[in-house]
Structure 1
């Protein structure tokens, strides 16, 4: 997904929905190409994720979707009503760019994943041990920050994995958050690909700011067709994950872990069925109704 640049529009369409079914609201926002999605407790302005492996089960959440200037709110509201029912509270507003950035910084404290991986804005103090790995990212258009469950699940996997000397593929890199985390955690190289040129530019810029631009590479997708990798990660959505099964399978070396995220619990079987011939699946993980599937490429 793309990141903000100097040509970003000066205002945004913000749609806020209050519902007990946060995952469904997030899925609707994703379907309409939300540039950013944040989940808040109705009683708080803080992000849902406050501590590692601690994800409160709120009775109701405030789900905020941010869309590019000029996006029509009507079809998004209609889809939300269809998914959530008429009881859901929906508010539409126009938000100036600088106001959104300030709000984002206030809502996103540093987050820890595993024992020593942190994601934090550049100016945010991090109370961490000396050996902590701190990835610094600031707010931008639809970029991963660790607050979304799908990104958090992948970061937790990376934080627990032995990446030393491994060659990693981040397919659908967005902001580059997973690529940068993998590089900082010891990967020998990370290949980050995305269909969006702005996402690749954001990944390169974020990699440089985090001192891993000599480890994170952003080639065109057609430039890696013959390559295989020690680890393959794809944090996208269920339909693309299914469609990309042959591609991701071909990129995974024998015994390579495969990490798939961006699907809902009801989509598990459909996604697994697309990969089961070449991968063995482990237990995976979940947050809210979002699922991470963990698998390993079969040797033969």
Structure 2
């Protein structure tokens, strides 16, 4: 039998109430979408921006078909919804449906990203076995690809790497598979730390990778008197990158390499200026994604 969908359009201040009411009525999941083609500008860490006008889509089980109309009227009244409508979605094997959207990705220099349920197309290549999950970084985003391509071009043998904003851990895992000695992976999201550890174990590099929240990493550095590292990768947003520039300078050896990604064209000069006191970032490279967006990476060295 088909699943029941209830769609509700309301203003941002009513979204929390609408979500709560839908869950109380038995919604199995809720998706939020932009109702007015409004861009969301880059958030600071910990912020969760939302559009001014939002469409909530709640999925209910098939046996709720008779109750949907009453639920819609009640919630629309309490939230001052501007629109409310219902639809049906056919039943599917949702796990297989989700999995069908992922496929192996070939990066530069014979590096592949392979979902863990698919056999590598080229077993002799460098294959990162990656389970798409809650943490960012599965290779399907242009900024991840930019960093992976850069890593394949570096001499990584016996290098110590920090992957700052590690997400799924894909960049650190790639560095290890390409010859790095050890990776310190750092992220503000506990889910990312968990995902990084799981993916490192899946790729048999968990003994060479240590994942932390930022405060944990700083405490570890002090306790272990950790030496400065050879390379930093940071695939995060422009504003956090600019704030982190002086901190990164304390982590990396003179002439150590750094690669920054997650940038769009208007941000390049501003990021370069923020790093100019400590780093020389002469190299810029772009990648055009499926949505026709142009993403950029910067790379260079810590100056003496």
TM-score, with normalisation over the residues of structure 2? 0.68
Distance 1:102 1:32 in 2: 35
Quote the residue 1:221 is aligned against: 217
Contact 1:194 1:221 in 2 (8 A): no
- Give the count of matched residue pairs: 234
Structure 1 counterpart SS, 2:31 = strand
Quick check: 1:183–1:212 contact (8 Å CA) kept in 2?
yes
Q: Does 1:107 align with 2:101?
A: yes
In the alignment, is residue 290 of structure 1 matched against residue 295 of structure 2? Answer: yes
Tell me the equivalent position of 2:157.
164
Structure 1 residue 115 displacement after superposition: 1.9
1:117 aligns with 2:111: yes
Q: 1:76 to 1:120 in 2, by over 3 A?
A: same
SS of alignment partner, residue 224 of structure 1: helix
Question: Could you give the per-residue CA deviations for residues 249-291 of structure 1, whole angstroms, max 9, x where no partner exists?
Answer: 1111111111001121111111111111221122221113211
Alpha-carbon distance, 1:15 to partner? 3.6
**Residue 37 of structure 1: aligned partner:** none
How big is each residue's C-alpha offset from its partner over 1:123-155, in whole Å with a ceiling of 9 and x where there is no partner?
Answer: 11322152x111111221143110111111111
Match of 2:29 in 1: 11
Whether contact under 8 Å (2:135, 2:192) holds in the other structure is no
Q: Deviations over 1:191-247 (max 9, x none)?
A: 101122221111111101110001111142212366411001111100000010111
Q: CA deviation at 1:121?
A: 0.6
2:50 pairs, out of 68, 73, 76, with: 76
> Mind listing any 5+ residue stretches in structure 2 that lack a counterpart?
1-26, 61-91, 289-293
Counterpart secondary structure, 1:128: coil
> Aligned partners of 2:108, 2:279: CA distance in 1, in Å?
26
Work out whether 1:179 is the aligned partner of 2:197. no
> What's the C-alpha RMSD, in Å, of the aligned pairs?
3.1
Shift, 1:13, TM fit: 1.9
Structure with bigger helix share is: 2
Contact 2:44-2:240 at 8 Å conserved across structures: no
How far apart are the structure 2 equivalents of 1:139 and 1:122? Answer: 9
Q: Partners of 2:302 and 2:45 in 1: how far apart?
A: 31
Shift in Å, 1:162: 1.5
Mapped contact 2:30–2:56 kept (Cα < 8 A)? no
Please, what TM-score do these two structures have when normalized by structure 1?
0.69
1:154 equivalent in structure 2: 147
Q: 2-side partners of 1:249 and 1:285: how far apart?
A: 22
Long gaps (5+) in structure 1? 1-8, 35-70, 80-89
- State how far apart, in whole Å, the 2-side matches of 1:271 and 1:243 are: 10
- Give distance in 2, aligned partners of 1:242 and 1:133: 33
Q: Secondary structure at the match of 1:178?
A: helix
Structure-2 separation of matches of 1:32 and 1:106: 33
Q: Which structure has the larger Rg?
A: 2
